Structure 1
Amino acid sequence: MSGVVVTRSRAPMVRYRSATGEFGESRLDRVSAEVLLSGVPVREFRWFKGRRFYSGWYWSATTGGLVAYESRLELARVLLADFDPAVVAIAAQPFQLSGMDAGRSRSHVPDLLLQDTSGLVTVVDVKPEHRLARPEVQAVFRWTEELVTAHGWAFEVWSGTDAVVLENVRFLAGYRRPGTIERGLLPLVMEASEQGGTIEELELTLRSQAPVSAARPAILHLLWRGDLQADLTVPLAAGSAVWPCGRSVR
């Protein structure tokens, strides 16, 4: 028909890489979160002298493998995800989303994909707060949120958290690897913690069974795992009160 413009809409597509590095493509409404969470980053990481961003790989206690990050801010979000006992899967740069947005072609690679114990999948974009007001950033995030929430996933924009909490989590992450802990001490620490008290007091209670050099890493490992809790809004120290998960501080 003369004078009529036919607009062809294209379903949003997802491009990803499998665990073996092979590229795959699927419609967003047909893609499996499990495939994306088990894959490798969809884009290559490049390191070169003078690079402005801080990239690397982080060993995750949650996944038992390496998670990539492209900035210190991304690393901070990965740390918090790894520390969160509700998070059971973490993937970095999990896919490239492409499709139409108000007549224009758009594509975007989110920073993280998380899954929690309820099965909820969350797409995370990490961006410094001072860049959130940029119109193009807002447009990309709006478009991404519309697509992934329509697919039943959640969407999060993350720009940072309390500095003290983050520093405490960063410190506890040094004790996340099970192989560096005397695992036989863990039930003894949990039993001793039932009486309440501080980290230092727990160490004194355990002094006949383990030196401080072994007891403290075990306590900090249990804090990392969430079996023990402490107030992380203040700097963690030997005098910090700790208590079993599910109990109130005494």
Structure 2
Amino acid sequence: MAGRTQPTYLNAADYTVISYQGADGATSERAISADLATIPFEDAPPARSVPSWKGKNVYEGDYWAATTRGFVHHESFLEREYVMAADADPSIIGFSWQPFVLKWPKGTKGHRGHVPDYFCRLDSGDGLVVDVKRPDKVEANAQQFAMTREVCEQVGWRYEVFTGLPEPRLSTVTFLCGFRQDRYSPGAENVGPLLDAFTPSTSLEAGVRRAARATGRTRPVVHGNVLHLLWHGVLSVDLDAPLDTTSVVSVGKVVPA
């Protein structure tokens, strides 16, 4: 990322242009069209570098995503929250940080261009463009968001502005996020007994007890295995309710790998 320069928003055309780095490393610029829907922006490098300066007071870093099995950048706590939410969403199969620049037509009053925060690839094959913004900043950026939404409609992408997860979903997803990594995986040989333990649906506590008996593993280990499968959607729970030992757990819609 350090090798990327800051994007230029200069656009001599009287139509919107999208700028991105191609597979060959060269920068490409194209007019907005439905053909852009076939470009795998979920795998594209960032269109800009991350500036740094003494005393910079933002939270930025790289989140390891179980979905992509790689790192995805974020420049704030709210962006990290979005990446975590996207990683937990089974309908999102790939995503990237700021892979392109939208350069508005010359003479656009008050705006030169915009770099949307995330691009996601959905399991339907569709694209999703996401801007991340604090709720108190949405109104001030309403025109920019409307222009971005119009571009997405022309391409055939979905568009949304993320302002944060509501409680208790935020707490539930944040907790489960801690079990996303492979060290909590039950292993292929134990997935079947774990699914059987929650068929029919039952409480987290009762299912862990059943699975521990079936696999011969300790309850703390099985508990971690179950939380791992909940994160990956192999098992499911109501994310909009507080998660505890009485939460009802079911077999999910995601087929285990």
TM value normalised by structure 2: 0.84
User: Which structure is richer in relative contact order (CA contacts within 8 A, separation 6 or more)?
Assistant: 2
| RMSD of Structure 2 on Structure 1 (CA) | 2.2
**Structure 2 counterpart of 1:219, one-letter code:** V
Q: Give the distance between the partners of 2:106 and 2:91, measured in 1 at CA.
A: 34
Q: Is the partner of 2:139 in helix, strand or coil?
A: coil
**Structure 1 counterpart of 2:124, one-letter code:** S
Q: Give the distance between the partners of 2:13 and 2:142, measured in 1 at CA.
A: 23
Conserved 8 A contact 1:185-1:218: no
What do the CA deviations read for 1:178-212 (whole angstroms, capped 9, x no partner)?
Answer: 34323132221101110332221122213331101
- Alignment partner of 1:150 is 2:154: yes
Conserved 8 A contact 1:15-1:26: yes
Q: Is the partner of 1:242 in helix, strand or coil?
A: strand
1:4 corresponds to which residue?
Answer: none
Q: Give the distance between the partners of 2:23 and 2:244, measured in 1 at CA.
A: 40
The Cα shift of 1:222 comes to 1.1
1:219 corresponds to which residue?
Answer: 226
Is the deviation greater in 177-186 or in 137-146? 177-186
Gaps of 5+ in 1: 1-7
Q: Give the distance between the partners of 2:146 and 2:139, measured in 1 at CA.
A: 12
Q: Give the distance between the partners of 1:89 and 1:82, measured in 2 at CA.
A: 9
Could you tell me which of 14, 17, 23 is aligned with 2:18?
14
**Structure 1 counterpart of 2:207, one-letter code:** L
Conserved 8 A contact 1:101-1:143: no
Q: Is the partner of 2:82 in helix, strand or coil?
A: helix
**5 Å matches for 1:184-203?**
184-203=189-208
**Structure 1 counterpart of 2:244, one-letter code:** A
Which protein shows a greater Rg?
Answer: 1
Runs of 4+ residues over 6 Å off in structure 1: none
Q: Give the distance between the partners of 2:68 and 2:180, measured in 1 at CA.
A: 12
- Alignment partner of 1:121 is 2:127: yes
Q: Give the distance between the partners of 1:47 and 1:180, measured in 2 at CA.
A: 35
Q: Give the distance between the partners of 1:40 and 1:71, measured in 2 at CA.
A: 19
Is the deviation greater in 73-82 or in 100-109? 100-109
Could you tell me which of 71, 76, 85 is aligned with 2:76?
71
What do the CA deviations read for 1:109-156 (whole angstroms, capped 9, x no partner)?
Answer: 00011121111211111111111122xx11211111112211211211
TM value normalised by structure 1: 0.86
Gaps of 5+ in 2: 1-11
Could you tell me which of 88, 96, 107 is aligned with 2:113?
107
**5 Å matches for 1:86-101?**
86-100=91-105
